[in-house]
Structures are given as C-alpha cells and as structure tokens.
Chain A
Amino acid sequence: MRIRVDPDKCQGHARCYGLAPELFDVDDYGLSSVVGDGTVPEGLEDRARLAIANCPEYAVEELPD
C-alpha cells in the first residue's frame, strides 16, 4: 500500500499526523507530507486508512498499485 498527500488540497488540519504519526510529517506551517515515498509499512495499513478517512480536505489518498 502506498499513500500520498496532495499538497494542493492539504490545508494543515494535521488529522493524518495526529492519527498516524508514523506515516506523516508536518511542517511549521501545518502542511503534511508522507514519510519516505509513502509506502505503508506492514501492519500500519489500518492507520493509513484511518488517515484517509479523516482528512476533511480529501488530501490523503491511496496510490494505485
């Protein structure tokens, strides 16, 4: 599973970082980005799905295989 944060949609709610800090970074202006290339380590898939399901801007998305 791979995920990304769309920088054009992210408004800095930081819900993804709050729910899955292993998978996201957040900068001093609140903008989120994925750790590394966005590959979700095994066992953290549910966290990734939670981050996707809680972004008010629909900015977190799963990349196709």
Chain B
Amino acid sequence: MTAPEPVVSWETDFDVLSPEYVSDPFAIWDRLRTTCPVAHTDRRKSSWLPTTYADVVDLAHDVDHFSSREISVIPFNGVPGRRPVLAYGLPPISADPPLHTWTRRLLLPWFSHRKVHEYEPMTRSLCGELIDGFLDAGSADAAVDYAQQIPVRVIASILGVPGSLSDSFTGWVRDVLEFADDPERRRRGSEALVDFFVQEVARRAEEPGDDLLSDLLHREVDGRPVEESVVLGVAALVLIAGVDTTWSAIGSSLWHLAGHPGDRNRLATEPAAMPLAVEELLRAYSPVTMARVVTQDVEFAGCAMRAGDKVLMNFPAANRDPAAFEHADRVVLDRQLNRHVAFGSGIHRCAGSNLARMELRVALEEWLRRIPEFRLADGAEVSWAGGQVRGPRRLPVVFG
C-alpha cells in the first residue's frame, strides 16, 4: 500500500480514503454543496459523489439507471477465479429486482419489530457483561472494549454461529470493508468469511437449528429450494452489513456524548428523550456510504454520467444538508423534523434497521445507566475508519 496522492481539487479529484476525508468529511461536503454539488474523480474508477439530500434520494429511487450490482465504494472484484461460490453476490443488497425482491423477503422477517424485540434482553445483558469487565478500571476504549463487541455477538446469535468466534468475524468484516486499498487483505477476509459459511451450511444440512442460516437452507421459493450460493450470499451479507455499521454508530454516538456534557447528562437523566436522540445521532453520524453503478449513459444533476461509472450513495452527507435539516451541522437531540436516510432510501432500505436502532439504543442506555459521567482520556488519540463505513476505531475514555 502506498499513500494516496493528496487531493488538490475535491470537485474533480475527490478521494474518500484520504486521511482528510476520513477524519473530517463534514467541511468537504459543505463546500461541495455550494460549488458542485456532485463531485467526480477518476481515481481507481470514474466515480461521482453527490452531497445534497435531494440528489442522494433521487439516485436511490432511480433503480433503472443506478444498479446495485456494484455496492462497494471502492471497486472490488470479489473473490477471483478459484470458486464462483457467490455467483449472486450478496443479495439482496447487491441485487436489482427481481432477485432483490424475493431474497429480501426471505430476510426481512428475521429483522422485524417483533423479532428484534426478542433480541433485546440478550443485547442488554451482553452490554452489561461488557461494562462489568471494565467498570472498576475507571477507563476503557469505548470502541474496542464496548461498541465493537456488541453487534457481532447479536448477529452471530441470529445466524446461529458461535459468538466465541466474534474476533474472527470482526477481523474478516474489517478486512472486507475498511482496507479498500489493500486488495490482498480484502481478498483474504472475503475468502475466510465465505469458507466459514460453506462449512456452516454443510453442518446444517445434517443438524438444522432454529437460526437464520437453517431457515434459509430449508425455505422454498416458488416450490424450489433456495440455491446454496444464494444462501451463502445472504448469510455473508448479514454478517458484513450487521457488524461494522452498527458498531460504528455506537462508537460515534459515545464519541459525541464524551465531548458534549449537556447531551450526555440529558440522556442519562431523561430516558424518554432516547428514541428521538437515537435518530438524531444516526443522522449526524451516519456510518454508511453505499454505491451504485450507472447502467446506461444518463445526465444527472447536470453531470454526464457514463454507463459503468460508479455513484457513491452519500447518505452521511445527505443527512448534513442544510436544505433538508435546520442547523444541520448541530446535534439537536429532540429534533422534531428528521427524515434522515442513515438507513438508505427506497427499495434498498437497510433490512436490519430495526435491529441496528435497538442495538444503538440499548448500548447507550446501558452505558449511561452505569457510566453517566465520562470524557475522552487526556491526550487520547481517537482514530477513525472511513470510506464505506465511518466510525471511531480507537476511543479511549475515562469515567467520572
């Protein structure tokens, strides 16, 4: 890996992996909205970066011109050559209708409000155990010791795979999502993850359980069993999409609360404020940027987009657009008008949004109940991941 060339013009040569963008994209979006507002780059591949709410929502709804076949922010050729196991990619997120439609219906009941309600006690006791582990020390890395540990275990339980492998899962998912400029690392993570699910699928053919993976293997669509490569793709998606994303949202929220005593105190003492606050934190620190690929030459927002170009679905910037949100750059915990698109917009609305929202709420509730006072450790070096998923990866805090 070599350091990327510095960006000279964000309008014509943006780079979502540049350190400047990863650590503080907000000022860049604010400027692009007034000068552009759809930026372009030829780095890696001809790609477009919309920055307004209206443009991002319009793009998300135009599934004819903007396909989900390529959802990675940085071009990714997948696992090359040796086995076409994921012949269908990661449906439904990487699929267009009709594959998108029926695979999404397989998945949604596992993440319905009713189901997510069942996962809540497990999530709460998991958060409590994690806090037990570091409370007496008076300090913790809120990203590594807490946020990172929560969604992966909940997802493992839903998939019916061992929570004891959480560190492996986290490692694979980070390899796939966070090291886009290191294709070898990305390939290794992707292969390990797929290999794992190939074994899990074989095991369930013998001993089905009452988990998501078993359910997928024994479901029929139009009278026929679901192909194994679809099952593997859906399972890999659930792990990839369910770990880094929510962990990042929990970490960013704790980072915000560490530096804003007023907001922290309000949430610690006023539990009724939590539902709106969770939405506002999701708006202000939306972790996920997706991508689409242009299916045919099209003019969009004055830009001549060519078939094959990538368009980044910049949901985080949309959620900071002052044309759509009053005081968009401020966290207003009880914001009343908040049509944020942290979970996307249109037919690809995040299938796990109910789960993510519950995990974020419960993680914050349990943390604030036990640790109502905390701040960044003196001289703390907070590090961020960015690109596809943005969130803190080191977040040292002290309690009291």
Question: Which A residues are closer than 8 A to B by beta carbons?
Answer: 11-15, 17-19, 26-30, 50, 53-58
Known: A13-B343, A53-B338, A56-B340. A29 touches B108 (CB 8 A): yes
| B113 x A53 contact (CB < 8 A) | no
State how many angstroms separate the Cβ of B207 from the closest Cβ of chain A: 26
Contact of A26 among B112, B279, B337 (CB under 8 A): B112
Leading 10 A-B pairs by shortest Cβ distance? A28-B109, A11-B349, A28-B112, A53-B337, A56-B339, A29-B108, A26-B113, A56-B341, A54-B338, A56-B345
Contact of B346 among A11, A29, A50 (CB under 8 A): A11
| A53 x B347 contact (CB < 8 A) | no
Known: A28-B112, A28-B114, A29-B105. A14 touches B336 (CB 8 A): no
Q: How far is the CA of A26 from the CA of B357 in the complex (A)?
A: 16
Residue of B nearest to A13 (CB): B349
B residues in contact with A18, CB < 8 Å: 275, 357
Q: How far is the CA of A26 from the CA of B353 in the complex (A)?
A: 14
Instruction: Report the tally of A-B residue pairs with Cβ distances under 8 A.
Output: 55
Known: A11-B349, A15-B279, A17-B113. A54 touches B108 (CB 8 A): no
Residue of B nearest to A57 (CB): B345
Residue of A nearest to B111 (CB): A30
Residue of B nearest to A17 (CB): B113
Does B354 reach chain A (CB closer than 8 Å)? yes
18 A-B pairs within 8 Å (CB atoms) are namely: A11-B345, A12-B353, A17-B113, A18-B275, A18-B357, A28-B115, A29-B105, A30-B112, A30-B113, A30-B349, A30-B354, A50-B336, A53-B336, A53-B338, A53-B339, A55-B339, A56-B341, A58-B339
Tell which of A11, A17, A53 has the most Cβ of chain B within 10 Å.
A11
Contact with A along B221-260 (1 / 0, CB 8 A): 0000000000000000000000000000000000000000
State how many angstroms separate the Cβ of A5 from the closest Cβ of chain B: 15
Contact of B275 among A19, A29, A55 (CB under 8 A): A19
A residues in contact with B109, CB < 8 Å: 28-29
Within 8 A of A (CB), among B106-129: 108-109, 111-115
| A29 x B112 contact (CB < 8 A) | yes
B residues in contact with A58, CB < 8 Å: 339
| Chain B interface residue bracket vs A | 20 to 34
Interface of A, secondary structure class, is loop
Within 8 A of A (CB), among B338-377: 338-341, 343, 345-347, 349, 353-354, 357
| A30 x B279 contact (CB < 8 A) | no
Contact with A along B320-344 (1 / 0, CB 8 A): 0000000000000000111111010
B residues in contact with A50, CB < 8 Å: 336
Residue of A nearest to B53 (CB): A56
| B279 x A54 contact (CB < 8 A) | yes
A residues in contact with B279, CB < 8 Å: 15, 54
B residues in contact with A27, CB < 8 Å: 112
Q: How far is the CA of A57 from the CA of B336 in the complex (A)?
A: 16
Residue of B nearest to A46 (CB): B336
Q: How far is the CA of A64 from the CA of B146 in the complex (A)?
A: 49
| B113 x A14 contact (CB < 8 A) | yes
Q: How far is the CA of A57 from the CA of B158 in the complex (A)?
A: 29
Q: How far is the CA of A19 from the CA of B105 in the complex (A)?
A: 25
State how many angstroms separate the Cβ of A32 from the closest Cβ of chain B: 10
B residues in contact with A53, CB < 8 Å: 336-339
Q: How far is the CA of A17 from the CA of B275 in the complex (A)?
A: 11
Q: How far is the CA of A50 from the CA of B346 in the complex (A)?
A: 21
